[in-house]
Each structure stands twice: as structure tokens, then as C-alpha cells.
Amino acid sequence: MSWRVLALPPLDEGLIRRMFAPLGADVVVDLPVRRDRTALLSGLADAELVVGDYTGRLAMDAEAVAAAPHLAFVQMPQVGVDSCDLDGLTDAGVPVANTAGANARSVAEWAVGAAFALCRRFAWGDRRVRAGEWPQQELLRRGTHELHTKRVGVLGFGAIGAEAARLFAALGCSVSYWSRRRRPEADATYRDLDDLLADSDILVVAVPLNQDTSGLLGAERLALLPQGALLINVARAGAAEHRLARRREHRDGRGGPAGPQCGQRRRPDHPPPLTHLRCLPPPTSTLAPSVGPGSPRRRSPVVIMQPFPRPCGNGRIITPGNTRLGNTRGRHAWGMVWCRTEASCRAHASAVERCMITAG
């Protein structure tokens, strides 16, 4: 019996079908006829497996879950799962998996690159030189900084936060971190949240966006940052109140929070209005779309789809990443794993079959 898969990523249909081709008759792949709400709900009526939309436009919210009576598994092709109604999916017995760790190095390097750009004012200098100027003296007056002299605070110590901490430490920075639980294996120093903010020249925000972290960095906490501090947000925008940070910086002249991934999360087909960013002077900010995970090494090869031959009864699927457990309704277990290299994909395929299914 074949699985009915609904693929929601905004990718070329031919590419999606080639990705699933190795599974042959084990899956029947459907795509929404249009990228709108009506087409999503229609497609979910027969779907058993869903590969989510990383742009968030076709969200697996409560209405979508209710429209999918046969749904057995949701795979998000990204780290974030904030476009999924996790409680609703859990109540429906549907596991949800993300791709935690797949982009950790890529995003961590991006954070380090943003820190270099802000400390040395690369973007500002580039714009001025391209405009025909040679602002050497002005740049010296504004000041630049060597990265190794900075105290770096990492907010969130998952795969991305831990890798960012390692890279900053390798450059000679003093690195501290905060997370909801202490990490005994961490080389960085654990600090309470407010202490971390008060002692960080560079704050790297790498927390997932959920009910606990939404608005975690409000106006009062942002005010704890030292004068001249830099804020590098590689998380969703909702974790920090960027508009408040920008208004404060514009008002008091502090060279503070500058978020490389600021504003709302970028969606290719529905970019948000960015007019509120104009209040932030360019010399203290670097803005970019969400391209941290987008290196070729992280995109190709990134996917292996492995149908598991053993029926799992009322067993539970445990997939790599942060998975909400549900039951597979007596069907064969199926999963998607993002791997870094072809060799690791092959190794993972055999390892996953041995460990993914546990007794219910």
C-alpha cells in the first residue's frame, strides 16, 4: 500500500518528484494546485504524510489539521516548527519532525560573519566607496573593533547556539550563554539571562520561537545591553522586539541592537513591509533575508527518504530533530532525514531503521 504525500515547499514540481522518485510505488506525491488556503485544505483531505512549507504561507495550523483526517506524519524541512499547531497535531496522534542541526554550521558562520561586518562596518564602508567617496577618516572617527576583544553572549544553546559559541571562542572571544537548562558539556560559561545581557558586547539570539521565547527580549531587557552592543538575531524575529530596539537606538544614538535577520520572517512570495527599518542608521545595521541555512553544502544533498519495512503497530516514530510523538496507526514507519553528505545519508539510512521505532 502506498503512502499519500502532500508536498508543500515552493519548489519546482519536477525537483520535488525527483526527490521522491527513489521511493517508487511506496509513495504517491501530490502538490497543491495553487499556493493558497483553499488549495491547501483541499489537498489535505487525502494526505497521509505532509512535507511542510518552509515559508510558512501554507501553515499546518488548527484548521489545516482538522482538514486532514488521514494524516499520520508531518516533516518540516527546516528547524522552525512555529507554523505548525503542535498541540493540535499531538491531540490527533500525528508526529512532527524538524531538521535540527542540519544547518547549524552554516547559520553559525553567518552569525560570525555578521559580527565581523558590524564590528568593522563593512556594509557602510562598501556603500560609501561605491558612491564615489573615500570615508577613511570618518570611519576612523566612528570607530571599528577587533572581534577577539568582545564579550559574546549566546541566547539559546541548541545546535546553532553551541556551534556559534565554539566559533566565537576559536577567535579568542570570551563566550557566555543562557538556555532554559544548563549544558554541562558546554565550554562556554552559563549566566542568568539578565546577567548575560548586561555583560555582552555581542548578543547572538538563537532560540526557537515558541510560547516561552516569543517577546523574550522586550524593551526592558534590551535596555540592559551595554552601550555600543550589537545584537545578531539568527532566530525568528518574534524573539526580540526589534522595532523597540531600533527606536531606542535612533533616539539616544547608541550603536546598539542591529539585527541581521530582523523584521518579520522573510517569505519569498509575500515579503513584509520593511519601512520601519528606515529609522535605523545604516552604519550600525546589517540586514539580510534568511539565507543563513542556504549554502550549497547544506542544500545538496540534504534529503534522504527511507521507507521502513517493519510495521510498527501502535509504536511511535522518533525522528532526528525535535519530534512530537504520535502514533502511526498500524502503518509502516516512514521518515525524512536531512544529512550533510552522501556518505552520512547512506550511514543514516541503516542506522535510522534500527533505532527509529520504539515500543508503544
Which residue's entry shows cell 573593533?
145
pLDDT in tens, 82-100: 899 999 999 999 999 988 8
Q: What is the average pLDDT score of the chain?
A: 75
- pLDDT reading at 347 higher than 50: no
Residue type for position 279: C
SS3 state of residue 4: strand
pLDDT in tens, 1-21: 889 999 999 999 999 999 999
Q: Annotate 144-207 with three-state secondary structure.
A: CCCHHHCEEEEECCCHHHHHHHHHHHHCCCEEEEECCCCCCCCCCEECCHHHHHHCCCEEEECC
DSSP percent split of the chain into helix, strand, coil, nearest 5: 35, 15, 45
pLDDT in tens, 178-220: 998 999 999 999 999 999 999 999 999 998 877 777 778 888 8
CA distance 208 to 204: 13
pLDDT band at 340; cut points 50, 70, 90: very low
- How many Cα atoms within 13 Å fall on the side-chain side of residue 47? 30
Q: Which domains does the chain have, with CATH numbers?
A: 3-102+300-358 (3.40.50.720), 104-284 (3.40.50.720)
Helix intervals (H) in 1-143 = 13-20, 37-44, 62-66, 86-91, 104-120, 122-130, 136-142
C-alpha gyration radius of the chain = 22
pLDDT in tens, 238-254: 666 654 444 444 344 44
pLDDT in tens, 104-126: 999 999 999 999 999 999 999 99
pLDDT band at 103; cut points 50, 70, 90: confident
In this structure, what are the phi and psi dihedrals at residue 41, rounded to the nearest 5 degrees? -65, -35
| β-strand partners of 205 | 155, 233
Looking at per-residue pLDDT, the higher value among 235 and 33 belongs to 33
CA distance 199 to 271: 35
pLDDT in tens, 48-79: 999 999 999 999 999 999 999 999 999 999 88
